[in-house]
Homo-oligomer: A and B are copies of this chain.
């Protein structure tokens, strides 16, 4: 049975953890490891590249491969659709469209979406329910210049999020996590008391350098986002 890149990966991690290759030290060259393990250089290369991806080693041409001194821990989060997130726990999902307006946006939103003051984006306010209980409040602005079809979408049937995912796939974006005290209006929508700490997710997406949408999600108090390191 040939040596797999996974085997090499594990072996390298063990040799680092055992102290054989201390933090910051240089490890043997690919060709040497290939000889030692009796496999081809490609296999070593693939294993070490994966470790570099994960931030455990740093590689430089001619400089060789070094064990990362202070490995930057990375966490990968799944950002699922709220419906899947809720149905996955066995609850029933519903959403209620509270507001649907076409109007000028505040400066902050214009800046984020790259709109001129005269533009008229679509503003949506939606409550997502799990078992008829408010789960999250969504406040969203959609750039109607980029996605004009959104004005004809049946947003009371399908949530704006799902409609956009199916219509504008593979956009790029950014996410920001934070915490905030629930404002009176947020508290009312979530049926909680004002001032309660809510988890906030802000998201903005683009398609080919054109802004698509920006939104904030205010989660029910106690909500937690989980990930492995």
Contacts and interface: CB of A to CB of B under 8 A. Distances in A.
A199 B179 contact: yes
Q: How many copies of this chain does one complex carry?
A: 2
Contacts of A76: 74-77
Interface in A173-229: 173-181, 195-200, 203, 205, 207-208, 219, 221-229
Contact of A229 (B175, B179, B222): B175
Given A75-B77, A77-B77, A228 B172 contact: yes
Interface stretch (A65-73, A114-122, A143-151): A65-73
Interface residues of A, number: 54
A80 interface: yes
Contact of A81 (B56, B70, B180): B70
A197 B221 CA distance: 11
Interface stretch (A26-34, A96-104, A130-138, A162-170): A162-170
Nearest to A182: B197
A1 interface: no
Contact of A199 (B78, B174, B177): B177
Contacts of A196: 181
23 contacts: A16-B169, A16-B170, A17-B208, A23-B166, A56-B170, A70-B81, A71-B169, A71-B170, A72-B79, A72-B80, A73-B79, A77-B227, A79-B229, A172-B229, A175-B226, A176-B226, A177-B177, A177-B199, A179-B198, A179-B199, A181-B181, A181-B195, A197-B198
Interface of A: 13, 16-17, 23, 56, 67, 70-81, 84, 162, 165-166, 169-170, 172-181, 195-200, 203, 205, 207-208, 219, 221-229
